[in-house]
Structure 1
Amino acid sequence: MLQLRPMLLTFLALIAFAGNSLLCRAALANTQIDAASFTSIRLLSGAVVLWILLALRRREHCEGGNWLSALALFVYAAGFSFAYIQLNTGIGALILFGAVQTSMIAFGLWRGERFTTAQWLGLLLACAGLVGLLLPGGAAPPLLGAVLMLAAGVAWGIYSLRGKGAVAPLQVTAGNFIRTIPMALLLSFGFVSQASLDSAGVYFALVSGAITSGVGYAIWYSALPLIKATTAATVQLSVPLLAAMGGVLLLQEPLTLRLLLASLAILGGIALVVLAVNCTPFSRKR
């Protein structure tokens, strides 16, 4: 059972991750800020906060990270923002989370990991839930928004895989955030004709970058050494549900039957894959 400190840290990190979806959707649906500006401000403020955190730990000379990981982080952040122009909070978070986990599981299979029957059933259930969510129909999310969020999820999966096992994850994350700054500026320049800012939108972007991204990642990396890897993977299943609840309560978004059923299939399937690791060899090579 989780002790109080890691439990509190984990809970705060999950709230921060769900908060990213809420803040982005609220900004793009209810303020005048454009997606490119939101992305740039989020990445810039996240880089500043992470740099400050490292400086407070006497690691002000950030040499972590690399350009390929930074590119994956940028693609995630940009796809995330542009997708939330069209998607509701819960649907966006569910597509993102499903794409992240599915891409990471697929990479494991490609590397030669073996699945049990239960794990294969879980993966098929998760994929079926994702397909069911995206099928055409009255409650289906807009296609462009869904594709952009899928791309964001795959990019985040790649970013996570590249950073797996990092000795100094906070320093690596700060280095990657800093490297995204020129990419973000190029994005804003490319969409300068559509640029639009207001105080509320800028505030949401700053909070998303500085608090729910920068501080949120710092809290998560503080919690990770204190909990099991399978526990860390499993508790993240709550993020789309927290985001959906926040969208319903704070943004008056509808909670559809399709979203509920897809959530059960996707999150339940991934949970089956992850939890089976406790009982079976997950990474035996062929």
Structure 2
Amino acid sequence: MKIALLTAVAMVAFAANSVLTRLAFATAGAEPLSYTAIRLASGAVVLFLLLSLRQGQPMRTVGGSWRAAAALFGYAIAFSVAYILLGAGTGALILFASVQIGILGWAILKGDRPGPLEWLGLGTALAAFAWLVSPGLVAPHPLGTILMIFAGLCWAAYTLLGRGSKSPLVDTAGNFVRTIPAAALLLLAATFGQPIEFGAAVYAVTSGAVASGLGYAIWYAALPGLPRTTAAIVQLTVPAIAALGGVLFIGEALTTRLIVASLGILGGVALALIGADRRRRASTR
């Protein structure tokens, strides 16, 4: 029950990033440079404090790597700009699909040979994704789509760089800390253009400190109790939660296109993950 509760809270936190960011741009006059800077800095502060409390002393070494921090920064800035143009649910779905397809694509490029079930799932997800972003009256904004795909690929790179980490929370905190110089430059550039709106800053702090910082801490507390495939599949709930949050808090509409595409993308990725898990188990027998 504890693992299930921690997992549910973490998924809501991850989805909240999309809802909070969309709220900031739709209702609070946010602009992407300062929003990204405040979000990253807030996440760094909270993760630093959490690790210091856990260790009983200030964090003395910075984990992670500059490559991972660069991927994290690329994700954060593209994510912010994309949400000027996309709805919460649509953005979360494009982000999630790009992350998973990016990771699966990298595995194939590195020599992994998916089985029939994995190819079926990947093909279904790609077809549904292509239909979602294809031109039409209800298609997502093309520039927003491109930016969110870039954000997803950056997050896929961040995930791949972090695989095998013995201390994922320490490395995540270190990566956030490493983004602070770039975040400071963003904040400096933003203040030349316009003053930072108080409401937008509150959304950015909440996204960085709570939805990101505390969300990652809760997720890493739940992960040891989850099988690898379960951990991957449970993240399929994030776009759905984000879409629901968009409806409840922003008044966004759930279009038929988004619902059908979501079923195709999430179902296809789930099928690919299940197929990959079966293939790994068979190879170890």
TM-score scaled to structure 1, two decimals?
A: 0.95
Distance in structure 2 (CA, Å) of the matches to 1:39 and 1:225: 30
CA contact (8 A) 1:133 1:258 kept: yes
- SS of residue paired to 2:279: coil
Aligned-residue CA RMSD in angstroms?
A: 1.4
CA contact (8 A) 1:37 1:196 kept: no
**Structure-1 residue corresponding to 2:250:** 251
Cα deviations by residue, 1:224-261 (Å, 9 ceiling, x for unpaired): 11110100000000000000011011110011011011
CA contact (8 A) 1:42 1:209 kept: yes
Distance in structure 2 (CA, Å) of the matches to 1:155 and 1:227: 25
Distance in structure 1 (CA, Å) of the matches to 2:24 and 2:87: 12
1:18 lines up with 2:9 in the alignment: no
TM-score scaled to structure 2, two decimals?
A: 0.95
Matches within 5 A, 1:47-58: 47-58=44-55
Distance in structure 1 (CA, Å) of the matches to 2:85 and 2:280: 41
**Structure-1 residue corresponding to 2:240:** 241
**Structure-2 residue corresponding to 1:36:** 33
Larger displacement relative to structure 2 (37-46 or 61-70): 61-70
**CA separation of 1:283/1:166 partners in 2, compared to 1, >3 Å: closer, same or farther?**
farther
- SS of residue paired to 1:255: coil
CA contact (8 A) 2:114 2:276 kept: no
Matches within 5 A, 1:1-286: 4-58=1-55, 60-281=59-280
- SS of residue paired to 2:165: coil
Larger displacement relative to structure 2 (188-197 or 271-280): 188-197
Distance in structure 1 (CA, Å) of the matches to 2:158 and 2:189: 24
Distance in structure 1 (CA, Å) of the matches to 2:22 and 2:195: 16
Cα deviations by residue, 1:73-114 (Å, 9 ceiling, x for unpaired): 000000000000010000000000000000000111111112
**CA separation of 1:281/1:100 partners in 2, compared to 1, >3 Å: closer, same or farther?**
same
CA contact (8 A) 1:87 1:141 kept: yes
**1:192 offset after TM fit, Å?**
4.2
- SS of residue paired to 2:61: coil
**1:191 offset after TM fit, Å?**
4.2
**CA separation of 1:282/1:263 partners in 2, compared to 1, >3 Å: closer, same or farther?**
farther
Using the aligned pairs only, state the percent identity: 48
Larger displacement relative to structure 2 (169-178 or 191-200): 191-200
Distance in structure 1 (CA, Å) of the matches to 2:255 and 2:139: 10
**CA separation of 1:282/1:197 partners in 2, compared to 1, >3 Å: closer, same or farther?**
farther
**CA separation of 1:165/1:195 partners in 2, compared to 1, >3 Å: closer, same or farther?**
farther
Amino acid at match of 2:210: I
**CA separation of 1:31/1:258 partners in 2, compared to 1, >3 Å: closer, same or farther?**
same
Cα deviations by residue, 1:128-155 (Å, 9 ceiling, x for unpaired): 1111111111001111111110000000
CA contact (8 A) 1:34 1:194 kept: no
**1:281 offset after TM fit, Å?**
2.9
**1:193 offset after TM fit, Å?**
4.2
Distance in structure 2 (CA, Å) of the matches to 1:274 and 1:199: 42
Amino acid at match of 1:150: I
- SS of residue paired to 2:179: helix
The total of aligned residue pairs comes to 281
Amino acid at match of 2:258: L
CA contact (8 A) 1:72 1:155 kept: yes
Distance in structure 2 (CA, Å) of the matches to 1:214 and 1:195: 27
**1:276 offset after TM fit, Å?**
1.5
Cα deviations by residue, 1:143-184 (Å, 9 ceiling, x for unpaired): 111111000000000000100121011110000000001112
